[in-house]
Every structure is written in C-alpha cells, then in structure tokens.
Amino acid sequence: AQKITQTQPGMFVQEKEAVTLDCTYDTSDPSYGLFWYKQPSSGEMIFLIYQGSYDQQNATEGRYSLNFQKARKSANLVISASQLGDSAMYFCAMREVNQAGTALIFGKGTTLSVSS
Amino acid sequence: DAGVTQSPTHLIKTRGQQVTLRCSPKSGHDTVSWYQQALGQGPQFIFQYYEEEERQRGNFPDRFSGHQFPNYSSELNVNALLLGDSALYLCASSLHRDRGRHWGNTEAFFGQGTRLTVV
C-alpha cells in the first residue's frame, strides 16, 4: 500500500503567488516525521521543512509552511510569494522508525512551475 | 563544513558489469542511507548503514550490497547490472538516535547523486 500520496503531478503558479502542494500519508505508528524536499534539475535533494507527529504547531521555515492535519493524515506544503527559482520537483517523505532504522518513504513528487 | 559528497557524478556501464558508488557523509553524521531514483519517480530506499553494519534494507535484490567504513563513508555495489538499474543513486547522511529518545528533526542530508546509465 502506498504510504505517501502526492496527487498533483504538476502545478503551475505565477510569481509572487502562494501555492499549496498536497501530501497525504498512511501509518499506524504514533511516532513519525514528515519531510518536504525540493529537487531541482541538478538532482540534489534539498531539505525544506520537517514536522514531527507530536509537534503541536505547524512547522514554518521562511516562505515554507507545513499545513499538518493529523486526523486527516495530510501534510501539505505551502509556499508563499513564489519565485522563479522555486521551479523544481517537490517530494513529500515520511520517516518511520522501527527497531532497525529510519528509512525515508517518498511520494512520487509534484513538479512546480513558476512563471513571471 | 562539507556536506554529503558522492562520486562519481555520472557513470555509464554495460549490462552484466559491476559498479561501485561512493559517499562521504556530512561532518558529524554517522549513518548513511542509499536510495535509487528512477526517472520521474520518487527515491526508493535501498539500505542503511550504521556502525559499519547494514541496519535496514528495502526491497532490493542481493545484487545490491554495501559497506560502511570506520570513517563513516560508504560504498554501494551493484553486481550483474541490468538496464533497469539505470537511475539516479542518492546517498543521505544523518545522525543516529535511539528510538526511545526524542529525536526531533534528524533530517537526512542528501548528496548530489550519481547518475548511472546501463547500456
């Protein structure tokens, strides 16, 4: 069963507008972490923001915020005031912690295109 | 402070050959994970190394093996290469924390990847 679902293959936004990238997850573990990464065409995965399952407040990092709705198992990324440099692939990931390790499980990603 | 470094950046191999990819973790990190990212897909977890042992493994065949050295650097080896092994291979480093403790934001830092093409 897919544990991370990103239903938007592509999103288009104008410069300076806000955009929301959707992510839903599935886990039975009460302790987990949710991540968003940006992957430009160069290939490197750039960490953007993290939300722990026990965190009371939604995470924010500059122009990035995470809209965490635990009951709905969603962790949407909100990018405010989009910039041309935000054009990239965005991945939502979940970290499950088991006895052995802490692998990240990724969604299929959303391609964001920002136009001027 | 050097981040995660991977070598080589690009590689072309022939079916049936063997390949070794290398990764140096971020300074202060002791855990290395490897991921395979096929074109247009999200990364898939291959395995994770900590204290020079494979601690966790994803759904990959035994052709995929690895090693971690005392300085925490790691290698990924793939034997008997198939066309389907063509992908971007990403290395991620992190700091190991026991599950019983609050481990907070132990995000994985990724390298720039090695793009492997099997022909």
Lowest-pLDDT choice from A15-19, A91-95, B95-99: B95-99
Predicted pLDDT of residue B102: 46
Q: List, as one string, the DSSP characters of B72-92.
A: S-EEEEE-S--GGG-EEEEEE
Q: List, as one string, the DSSP characters of B30-76.
A: -EEEEEEE-TTS--EEEEEEETTEEEEE-S--TTEEEEE-TTS-EEE
Contact A35, A95 (CB under 8 A): yes
Separation between Cα atoms, residue A2 and residue A55, nearest integer Å: 24
Residues 6+ apart with CB under 8 A from B51: B30, B68
Separation between Cα atoms, residue A49 and residue A65, nearest integer Å: 7
Q: Using a CB-CB distance cutoff of 8 angstroms, which residues of chain A are in contact with residue B41? A: 108-109
pLDDT in tens, A40-60: 998 889 999 999 888 889 999
Q: pLDDT category, A31, cuts 50, 70, 90? A: confident
Two tokens, residue A20? 């929301």
Predicted pLDDT of residue A2: 60
pLDDT over 60 (residue A30): yes
Contact A4 B111 (CB under 8 A): no
Q: In chain B, which among 27-66 make CB contacts under 8 A with chain A?
A: 31, 33, 35, 41-45, 48, 50, 55-56, 58
Pairing outcome for strands A10-14 and A110-115: parallel
Separation between Cα atoms, residue B108 and residue A36, nearest integer Å: 11
pLDDT over 70 (residue A100): no
HSE-up of residue B84 (Cα within 13 Å, Cβ side): 4
Report chain B's mean pLDDT, rounded to a whole number: 91
Q: Average of pLDDT values for A56-79? A: 95
Q: Please report the number of interchain residue pairs, chain A to chain B, with beta-carbon separation below 8 angstroms.
A: 73
Two tokens, residue B110? 């990724």
Query: Within an 8 Å CB–CB cutoff, is residue A109 touching chain B?
Result: yes
pLDDT in tens, B44-98: 999 999 999 998 899 999 999 999 999 999 999 999 999 999 999 999 998 876 5
Q: Using a CB-CB distance cutoff of 8 angstroms, which residues of chain B are in contact with residue A101? A: 31, 33, 48, 50, 55-56
Shortest alpha-carbon distance between residue B111 and chain A (Å) = 6
Report chain A's mean pLDDT, rounded to a whole number: 92
Two tokens, residue A90? 């965005």
Predicted pLDDT of residue B106: 62
Predicted pLDDT of residue B68: 97
